[in-house]
Structure 1
Amino acid sequence: MMIVNSTIIFALLASMVLIPVAAYAQEGGPSREDIISAYYSGPVYLDSYWTSGLNSSESTTELDVAPGDGASTLAVVLINRGPSDISGITGQLTLPSGFQATGKPAGSLATATFNQIVKVGNTFTLFFDVDVLDTASIGEHTAQLSVDYSRFFETGVPRNASMDVPFRVTGKAIINVSGISSGDGDASNQIVAGKIEDYNISVANKGTAPITNVVVTLVSPSESVKILGNSKWTIQSIGEDSQVDLPTRVFAANSLIGNPASFDVTVEYSSNGQSNTETFTLGIYIAGEISIRAYDLAINYIGGTPNIVGSLLNEGNTVALFTTIEVTGAENLVSDLPPQQYIGDLEENSPLPFSIPINVNSRAGAGTYAISLKVSYKDDLRETHMLDVNSEVQFAPEQPADESSQGPDIASISLMPVGIGVAAAAAIAGVTVARRRKKSALKRTFQAGKADDDDIESVLDSHSSKQDRK
């Protein structure tokens, strides 16, 4: 059997790989065999990145992580630069401060395995489950990786390779989009139908990495909701924990009153050198408008009772439900405030009259008085609203009905001096008594037969003639 010189074998290996000359040129340094074994006999670090946690050799998506993200997956890419295939690969990662193996006590090693044969020159990935703690800092970090492996067809104790694994915590952008209507100065997620409303979109970066080249697009899926203002904006950058407000104007048809609607928002941006696109749906409620006005306020007597009267008009485009009205102030006019009155639903464009009986203060005379009313109603969402009405009304006391209906004779008598009234009454009484006495005497004479041929009327007439001659 031919014996091959070791020098020839070394020459053949050296021709296959490049060995740093400085590594073995120095006297007393490692042998050429040691250098080949150290540099090219097994797995070598190639790359690392954060990913979604797919524990396989399939392609994965790189992700950004930020302090406090918690459970994450660090992918470490290695390459087999040895002279033979390797298998039985297990990696143990010693983590720096701010990181911890998921589900293990602090200080424990993160472990990952690769259960396939890795041919010479091929790459493979170890996936380590790592918690990114709140104390982790943004920037570069280094972990120590120890890899146990076996050469193909080799038995005995596994080989080991140790190396540094650099990785980076970049921070990440967290995009939040919201929309509010600022109609009538009140910010809400409602749009009033039938009128042009101001609407603001807020794009906020709640993360720890800035975003650049931001493009925001607003779309209305409904034909009944129109965007009348801007619908696309370009923003140079939005820093971490910053917000940009984008104003526009919108219009919703009356047919949508009482119904929900939505806007679709698309945000395109770049972060940590990667392009991203996120979509959001902003829900809104299409509300009707209720605008109540009180008019023709006055004080009228109804059935002899004074009432505060007037009318309410809903100038909006939807009904005001469960409407009530009450007097909250009428100083110097009423002795006590009347109770609240329920007047029902107030339809749009339809006046509703009201009358509130009041107890007028006994010292109140004719004049102008200030009154205050409170109108309460509910909208389509059963939310209560209040309307305060302040006005002035004219008041004139009404003369009682029994005094105005007395006869003129009694009224004239009541206006005479006391003495004249008494004398007149006595004279009338005397005449009445005398006439009654004469009629009685004549009746007795007639009944006694003194005037048999005459009837009672003739006797009376005859007697009256005699008296006149006397």
Structure 2
Amino acid sequence: MPLSKAFLADRKKFHFILVVFIVLLLALSSILQTRYNQIIDSYAQLTEKIPGFQDSYWTDKTVAAGNDSNKLEEKEVGPGEGVATLAIVLVNKAQSDISAIKGYLSLPNGFEAVERRYGNSDTESTVTSLSNNSNMLLNNINGLVANSSSNMQPNISNVAFASHDSIVRPGNQFTLYFDIYITNKAKVGTYQGNLELVYSKVLTSGDITAKDIPIFFRVPGKVILDVDTKNQYLTPSKVNKLSIDVVNKGSADANGVIITISNDNDNTAENLAPVTRSSPTKSVQQINSTSSTPDNTTSATTISSTDDGNIDNNSTTGSSSITTVGTQKFDVGVIGPNQIVSIDPSIYPATSAAGTLQNLNIQISYGNALGNRETINYNLGLMITSEPKESNFNVYLQNIDNININSNQSKSNAANSYDKTITAGSIENFVFGIQKTTTDNDIQDLVIAIQPSSESIKILGPSRWSFDNINNNVLPLNTTVFASSDLIGKPVQLNFNLDYILNGVAKSETLELGLYVDGKITIRAYDFEINVVGDEPNLVLNLLNEGNVDALFTTAEMIPPISTNMPSGIAVNNTTLKLVEEYPPMQYLGDLAENSPLPVNIPLKIPNSTEPGDYPVSVKISYKDNLRNDHQLIVNGTVNYSPEVDDANSDTGLFSGLLGPIIILVIILLIGIIAYVIVRRIQKKRNSQRIGTQDHQNTDSEDDLDSILRDND
């Protein structure tokens, strides 16, 4: 029976729906299978342990490449170190082999990563395929590496990169080497960073990412020891105290420091001497425990200098150059950063070492910031002078008013120092004292010569003296000196060259005396007078600096008058007339230049009862010189005061004062009379006009009446 069209249509719809259902069922099955696999993989990753942090240290490895997991030699690093290599040691805690390990270390403040392109074929391309979570980070590193290859300077980023391309078996260690730039902002101490690892399992596809692995590393600091001495010149045939400073210029403590002065074959005793330690903020004295040699004798180290400058050992009885007397080993202890430790060994140079350069061997043993023991050697150069630096005389400036010095005068009194200044542009007398400092009286044929250090200063008086014998402790030298004006404000030096014979041996020495060249300030006041400025009297005078240097910060102040026949500074008695009762305040004038008059105006309040006449006035001038020393000068003068005549206060003025109002009153009266007369005339004129008008009107009325009467007639 043939099927109907409706049945066939329903059948096609059914088949279509069935096909769609089967397709959806297959798609859902595939999605569920994929999700199941992801869940299984995630569970496997969760149950699988990631590599763990084991150790960290700084190493001498300068390029972060290679797969050697053996620990390299540690090194000290400190703030501002620059580029250094940080080794991070990790252990594979997984149950399978891992490889293609890449690490990204996030650094704290004070540290910056330095990315480089390495020469190994396995790491030539720094970036490999990673998981989607780290693609952006790798792109940044690609840019840094590309820039690093094009520029000579290393590139800086916030994340340091390192890789390890060998297979790491379960339980084995592997090391990642990160190149890190240590800035000056870093401090000595422990820091934490976060490490992200990207690696893959052997025979397994895909990458595994382990994030936020805590990494701890330490900046231990560096110990940098240096040696210096304040007195490199030693005197032969004499025990010299040599002050040697050992300074720690690093950023970490030097622990257990022991300083030994010796050469290679010395058997030094275990004497421990006191040391002085100082820092930029303090200085303390530390005395270490000491121990003596078994026989309680003092040890000595003999060092000699050969022709080629090498240091040889010799016995103390042989031909020696310099010998260390007393303690040779100093137990210093701890030397902190920027701390200085001083030791004071005793050195005896032989007479044969005079005029030569000797080397002193200094050995320093200490514990560094990593706890390792290190030993360093220094050769300290010492110059042995040709002859002992001994002076038998001293020079100073004597008081010119007292040049006779008693031979029994004490040195403290004889060496009294007076004003060591010389005025430029003028000839001045000086008395120099040559004082004998030795107790040896056998000094003969003494010759003294003065030699200025500048061509602008000349000795105009005697410049050379000779003495056969010295009977007094002090020899006065009287002479005159001239200094040019171009030396104003500068120090000069006078050299005293002495030649004499002491105990039959000719000797020479030079004494130095410093002087300061100052200018001359001479202030003169003139043209004292009283001027009226704006109805107010002013004391006017002119100041002139006749010297050769400016008077600084000059002020003027009017004071009670000083009598001209009395010494300066003595006020006149109360019977003397005074121009003012109340003195004006001090006035600031500024700098008073040389050879340039400066006018001074001082406002005055002169009482009305002051009579005319001559009055003495005194003005105190204060100023400073180039050395800012205060000076005061009182200038005196006489002014003539003539008050202005006031007519109102005199007889004529009184008359005029009375006459003036009378005249004004008369004028007012005249004006009133004139006004009255004018008003009266105006009124009369108006009245006359009014009367004429009325008469005219009356006449007209009468004429009109007459005309009317005529008409009626």
TM-score in terms of structure 2 length? 0.37
Letter of the 1:178 counterpart: Y
Q: In the alignment, what sits opposite 1:378?
A: 624
Letter of the 2:434 counterpart: V
Matched, 1:246 2:485: no
Task: Tell whether the 8 Å contact from 1:332 to 1:361 is kept in structure 2 after alignment.
Answer: no
Q: In the alignment, what sits opposite 1:315?
A: 546
Q: In the alignment, what sits opposite 2:501?
A: 270
Residue 220 (structure 1) shift: 1.8
The 1:319/1:441 distance shift into structure 2, 3 A limit, reads same
Task: Tell whether the 8 Å contact from 2:301 to 2:324 is kept in structure 1 after alignment.
Answer: no
Q: In the alignment, what sits opposite 1:178?
A: 396
| Separation in 1, partners of 2:666, 2:429 | 92
Q: In the alignment, what sits opposite 1:188?
A: 419
2:589 to 322, 343, 356: 343
3-state SS of paired residue (2:626): coil
2:685 to 433, 439, 446: 446
Letter of the 1:282 counterpart: L
Q: In the alignment, what sits opposite 2:449?
A: 217
Task: Tell whether the 8 Å contact from 1:189 to 1:283 is kept in structure 2 after alignment.
Answer: yes
1:205 to 429, 436, 443: 436
Q: In the alignment, what sits opposite 1:15?
A: none
Q: In the alignment, what sits opposite 2:530?
A: 299
Deviation track 1:443-467 (CA, whole Å, cap 9, x = no partner) reads 12323452899xxxxxxxxxxxxxx
| Separation in 2, partners of 1:254, 1:452 | 110
| Separation in 2, partners of 1:125, 1:348 | 64
| Separation in 1, partners of 2:553, 2:321 | 69
The 1:381/1:104 distance shift into structure 2, 3 A limit, reads farther
Q: In the alignment, what sits opposite 2:65?
A: none
3-state SS of paired residue (2:676): helix
1:356-371 equivalences under 5 Å are: 356-371=602-617
Matched, 1:234 2:452: no
| Separation in 2, partners of 1:70, 1:217 | 32
Deviation track 1:179-198 (CA, whole Å, cap 9, x = no partner) reads 46969x99522221112121
| Separation in 2, partners of 1:128, 1:235 | 43
Letter of the 1:234 counterpart: S
1:288 to 519, 532, 536: 519
Letter of the 2:505 counterpart: Q
Residue 340 (structure 1) shift: 0.5
Task: Tell whether the 8 Å contact from 2:301 to 2:325 is kept in structure 1 after alignment.
Answer: no
3-state SS of paired residue (1:380): coil
3-state SS of paired residue (2:461): coil
Q: In the alignment, what sits opposite 1:464?
A: none
Deviation track 1:61-89 (CA, whole Å, cap 9, x = no partner) reads 568xxxxx9989xxxxxxxxxxxxxxxxx
Deviation track 1:322-345 (CA, whole Å, cap 9, x = no partner) reads 111101114632121110011121
The 1:277/1:350 distance shift into structure 2, 3 A limit, reads same
Q: In the alignment, what sits opposite 1:353?
A: 599
Task: Tell whether the 8 Å contact from 1:292 to 1:313 is kept in structure 2 after alignment.
Answer: yes
| Separation in 1, partners of 2:654, 2:301 | 122
| Separation in 2, partners of 1:312, 1:118 | 79
Letter of the 1:309 counterpart: V
3-state SS of paired residue (1:359): coil
Runs (5+) with no aligned partner, structure 1: 1-53, 64-68, 73-102, 131-171, 454-470
3-state SS of paired residue (2:448): strand
The 1:267/1:109 distance shift into structure 2, 3 A limit, reads farther
Task: Tell whether the 8 Å contact from 1:368 to 1:392 is kept in structure 2 after alignment.
Answer: yes
Letter of the 1:372 counterpart: S
Task: Tell whether the 8 Å contact from 1:292 to 1:314 is kept in structure 2 after alignment.
Answer: yes
Runs (5+) with no aligned partner, structure 2: 1-232, 243-289, 303-312, 327-389, 404-416, 562-576, 693-713
Q: In the alignment, what sits opposite 1:389?
A: 635
- Between 1:429-438 and 1:368-377, the stretch displaced more is 429-438
Task: Tell whether the 8 Å contact from 1:321 to 1:379 is kept in structure 2 after alignment.
Answer: yes
Q: In the alignment, what sits opposite 1:437?
A: 676
The 1:264/1:449 distance shift into structure 2, 3 A limit, reads same
The 1:236/1:342 distance shift into structure 2, 3 A limit, reads same
3-state SS of paired residue (1:255): helix
Task: Tell whether the 8 Å contact from 2:391 to 2:509 is kept in structure 1 after alignment.
Answer: no
Residue 311 (structure 1) shift: 0.6
Q: In the alignment, what sits opposite 1:414?
A: 657
Residue 362 (structure 1) shift: 4.0
| Separation in 1, partners of 2:612, 2:449 | 67
Deviation track 1:11-30 (CA, whole Å, cap 9, x = no partner) reads xxxxxxxxxxxxxxxxxxxx
The 1:316/1:337 distance shift into structure 2, 3 A limit, reads same
Residue 238 (structure 1) shift: 3.5
What is the Cα-based RMSD across aligned positions, in Å?
4.6
Task: Tell whether the 8 Å contact from 2:423 to 2:520 is kept in structure 1 after alignment.
Answer: yes
Task: Tell whether the 8 Å contact from 2:397 to 2:418 is kept in structure 1 after alignment.
Answer: no
| Separation in 2, partners of 1:104, 1:178 | 49
Residue 316 (structure 1) shift: 0.9
Q: Percentage identity across aligned positions? A: 34
Task: Tell whether the 8 Å contact from 2:648 to 2:654 is kept in structure 1 after alignment.
Answer: no
3-state SS of paired residue (2:689): coil
| Separation in 2, partners of 1:256, 1:374 | 30
* Larger fraction in strand: 1
Q: In the alignment, what sits opposite 2:573?
A: none
